[in-house]
Amino acid sequence: MLAAFLFIALQPAEIVCEGAYPGHLQGVARDGAGDLYWSFTTTLVKTDQTGRLIKKIDVETHHGDVCVVGDRLYCALNKGQFNNREGKSDNWIVVYGTSDLREIGRKPAPIVTHGAGGIASDGKRLIVVGGLPTGVQENYVYEFDLHLNFIRKYVLDTGWTFLGIQTAAFGDGRWWFGCYGSPHELISAEADMGNLSRSQFECSLGIIAVGGGQFLVGRDSTDGGNGHVGSLLPAIGTRDGKLRLSHGQVQK
């Protein structure tokens, strides 16, 4: 907990990713050394913990949320349609090396019916989330092992959320899911996907669990005609599955 506190305390109020990119921010992740990974739909970016650019690569659309396990960066990719009731998505889990963003491998994930958009790990397994057709009153979470083998599907009794679930993270013994909407929404669940919580909070562009109740959440803005700029704001989690921005931060 002390390390998490010091990490947040020593960070600026906002970490801004260097550069502007054609696609908007889809997800963020952090490795054990503190380096950050940003998915901008068609660009993957690695920065240090202050946002200084280390490496960037062009990738195919639609690269979504990302997560790190060891020296591997996992990304949810959908090359088909999102939110289609007939399941016209084309889903993949793509694996990159964290050192140089070199693609290590990929595997199709056709079980993710409405479009893979988010991915997270508790260090032992991966879970993938994604799109949802209008009016469907439950969300779906797909569990894989770290070799990308499908394990099981969870049905979450969340009620309908706009376009499903966009981002995911695991921290403090809970899963955290960011959703679009007006207002944006947060869904949280215990490790076994039980004890659901639903509240209003914007974390649909990325969630990083730092530990000890500390989080970083993604934001996206446009830099004139130059493209999209990503940033991270510090946030605090509660035991009942809610997030709030840290003192002095304004929801945006």
251 lies in some domain: no
In a domain, 252, yes or no: no
In a domain, 250, yes or no: no
Residue 171 lies in a domain: yes
Which of 100, 98, 35, 23 lies closest to 63, judged by CA?
Answer: 23
Q: Is the pTM of this model over 0.75?
A: yes
Residue 64 within any structural domain of the chain: yes
203 within a domain of the structure (yes/no): yes
Do the beta carbons of residue 82 and residue 130 sit within 8 Å?
A: yes
- Is residue 28 in some structural domain? yes
Encode the chain (252 residues) as per-residue pLDDT tens digits.
Answer: 444 444 445 456 899 999 999 999 999 999 999 999 999 999 999 999 999 999 999 999 999 999 999 999 999 999 999 999 999 999 999 999 999 999 999 999 999 999 999 999 999 999 999 999 999 999 999 999 999 999 999 999 999 999 999 999 999 999 999 999 999 999 999 999 999 999 999 999 999 999 999 999 999 999 888 899 999 999 999 989 999 999 655 454
Domain that holds residue 209: 2-245
Q: Is residue 180 part of a domain?
A: yes
Domain count, the chain: 1
Start-to-end Cα distance in the chain: 27
The domain spanning residue 230 has which CATH number? Answer: 2.115.10.20
Tokens 């209008």 belong to 134
